[in-house]
Structure 1
Amino acid sequence: MLTPRWILLNRRKLGPITAVAGIVVLVIFLGSAFFSGPSQSQLDKQKSFTTALDNTFASRSFRFEVESKLLGENGFYSKVEGERVMPDKVHIKGTVLKTPVEFTQVNENTYMKDPFSGKWLTLKDIKLSQSELFITELNPLANFNFKDIPEIEMVGEEDLDEDKCYVYELKPNVVNAFLEEQFSDFYYKVWVDQKDVNIRQAIIKANRPESGNSGLDMKIRIWDYDRDLQIDAPVKASTTTQENVPY
């Protein structure tokens, strides 16, 4: 009769012991998952962002749209659409500060359309796309030059113009003297085409250090990679000198 009593008593003791053992196993499992870092799938998807940067910069042509807002008292707004053929041809058309603008750059010369007369002016031996004044509008890829990316995460997948994209959020350190002097705390949300592995869209936000109410808000769209785009100098463009350049 001692045996049944022994089994009964030990069953009562085994309950709490089993529960504790289960918790220990769970903690060990979660701990190993935590310290093992991201999964191979996550690493592969993060690696695709680096590949997308390389592919985007290696493209020979593309179309783009850039919408920029400077938040605060002196609000600046621009929205342009254009196309670029590497290495030194670009055309944009849109509005900057409620003023129509149109620029064409071919090789060493930049052509600017006068919004009032409709005539084209030639800025000889000037690559306006490399100036700080219009670098965002004429050279959107300059916004993806990074020193490094301390924080990056693949946050999901979305359809963009019927194409499946990975969506990334990152906080990079940018390589752009003008942006670095004006803003801090850069935040990027970037859509990467899963098939072609290049950047299709980006939302960029940043703060102005001296004011909590002002900052940068930008949206960039890029499409038609590696198409046969034609960009030519405007016909009958008059010539101006470097001293007349508005920057």
Structure 2
Amino acid sequence: MSITIKTPEEIEKMRVAGRLASELLDYLTPHVQPGVTTKAIDKLAYDYITQVQQAIPAPLNYAPPGYTPYPASICTSVNNVICHGIPNDKALKSGDVVNIDVTVIKDGFHGDCSRMFSIGTVPRHVQRLVDITFEAMWHGIALVRPGARLGDIGHVIQTFAESAGYSVVREFCGHGIGRKFHEDPQVLHYGKAGTGEILREGMTFTIEPMINAGRRDIREMADGWTIVTKDRSLSAQWEHTVLVTPTGFEVLTTSAGCQPAPDFVRQTALAA
């Protein structure tokens, strides 16, 4: 495994890219409404990234080995879509939930984050899935510090999600990030505490659990990108890019409109 430890100069560029990604989601938020298509949201994102932020949308034409180029600037995963949903002409409706996943390249560095959006009036059980997934991500982030292990992160996310009655997708995971969109290490959202790579100061990676209301099994759609739940149950995901600091963590993908960390994270930080 070849993990890139970022220099102070590189970390500062990661902060900029991360902030831009989060600010893009801030900009998109008021447009994510009933009657709006995800394709329209994608167009807004492309224009904002390229014209306002003077940056590059990393997903557009991204083509890892074995994949056709991704055709949009963001991923929009609605309801039972787990990840990599391609924006389309279908309008969002009240009761839907959608994950919008964005990655911005600025000065050669990537900032990657996603948020869940509840459209109109959402049933309580649906909102619970969204909220529990948000907390699961933060349970993982809260453990980030030098000397911790990747398995600690996966274990706490899995334990928390499964204790709430949900399942954790295993085929997709968080990842190192920097000059490259996807770097080492892989950050699993399940696993055994005390195992895996030891975290070191200067590592940057994403934590992005995908939590299903039903079973964890997945299915790939014919477009080669869109991943859905095999049992058609709902799925949710949140994502932040984090930095391992000398004493803990720094979330790089924050902005004015970013949903604050849960109380348990803020209390832990104050106690430290």
Normalization by structure 1: what TM-score?
0.26
Name the structure where strand makes up a greater proportion of residues: 1
Which structure is higher in RCO with an 8 Å CA cutoff and minimum separation 6?
A: 2
Normalization by structure 2: what TM-score?
0.24
